[in-house]
Amino acid sequence: MKVLGVLILILLLIAAAGAYVLLTPFGPSTDFVDIPAGTGVRGIAGSLERAGVVRSRYAFEAWHTYQHGTLKAGEYRFDHPATVREVYDRMARGDVYTVSVTIPEGYNLFDIATAVQHAGLGTADAFLAAARANTALISDLSPDAKSLEGYLFPETYKFSRHATPEQMQAAMVKRFRREATALGLTTDVARTVTMASLVEKEVNVDTERPLVAGVFVNRLAKGIPLATDPTVIYAALLDNRWRGTIYRSDLDYDSPYNTYRHTGLPPGPIASPGVAALKAAMHPAETDYLYFVSDAAGHSVFSADLKEHAEQVQAYRRASGEAPGAPASSKHESKSPKHAAPGNASGRKRQK
């Protein structure tokens, strides 16, 4: 009986020790643990023990033997004490640590690069350099592309802390391809994305996007310059000349992106269009409109001739408190498809 009692006591102590190791929260001494793809359970358990995430690698292995789960590779963050079971469950779910980056519709490469840098995922310069060198990603869509502009689809992405610019851009282009396929965008992709980027930057109301696309189509058909301010801004950004305001020198600057000086579409997109802008570019409204002007509520009013457009501009000025007879802010304004107020999201105040 004494021997039996001792054995029972030993078993109880072992059970208690096992329960303590398995069920009592522990660690961590290191926030991040990186588990490379292909690492076995022993390697994972050892990494967790060395990082102070679990007390014993053997306890983790024993729990795996009991669970028979599949553990996911990746980087994990352990910022509070946890039991072996909690650690194991997280790794079985693949609850890896990621950094979120939100790319709104209408962001250009410079904006996206800045967002990536602010998220702590590398420098803006490195992202821009990769976007210019990584055009093979879209060679079938836009063979002459000089960068990935327009094809980094606006969305919220989750990346590993160690993601490279190339990996992030590949994910964004993959998302673009998925959305393009869903929309049925399979032909004339480069032209459509370029048109959609202009629509995206010019108007914020989705129902007006097809009308704006229709204005651009009509002006292209008649050989009238598109004369849209966002292309002037983009031309200045490309040459590191953007000063936050459109100056006379910007309007006169000889860039292929300057749609005041050159007829036709610019050589490529000027921003990342969203689904609504892509749809508008694919299915522009059939009208005789050649101009549009912002009203006091931020919507657009469309007109078919210059006289009607001038009247709409004067009506806008009266509604916004400007003198109805005030001179145009530039000699180009009467030819532009849109007159926007200073500070309007689709335009910028011009200075001579």
Q: How confident is the model at residue 7 (pLDDT cuts 50, 70, 90)?
A: low
Whether the CB-CB separation of 142 and 184 falls below 8 Å is answered with no
CA distance 189 to 179: 12
> Tell me, what's the pLDDT at 329?
39
Q: Which of 204, 218, 211, 255 is nearest to 233 (CA)?
A: 255
How many CB atoms neighbour CB 292 within 10 A?
Answer: 26
> Tell me, what's the pLDDT at 314?
84
Domain ranges across the chain: 19-93, 99-183, 189-351
Average of per-residue pLDDT across 130-153: 97
Between 19 and 193, the higher pLDDT residue: 193
CA distance 276 to 205: 9
Lowest pLDDT segment from 44-58, 94-108, 215-229, 301-315: 301-315
Mean pLDDT, rounded, of the chain: 86
Q: Which of 212, 183, 185, 179 is nearest to 197 (CA)?
A: 212
Pairing of strands 291-294, 338-339: parallel
Lowest pLDDT segment from 107-116, 205-214, 308-317: 308-317
Report pLDDT digits (tens) over 74-97: 999 998 899 999 999 999 999 999
**CATH topology agreement for domains 19-93 and 99-183:** yes
- The architecture (CATH level 2) of 99-183 comes to 2-Layer Sandwich (3.30)
CATH 3.30.110.30 given to domain 19-93: no
Q: How confident is the model at residue 342 (pLDDT cuts 50, 70, 90)?
A: very low
Q: How confident is the model at residue 350 (pLDDT cuts 50, 70, 90)?
A: very low
pTM to 2 decimal places = 0.82
Place of tokens 């033997």: 65
Whether the CB-CB separation of 302 and 289 falls below 8 Å is answered with yes
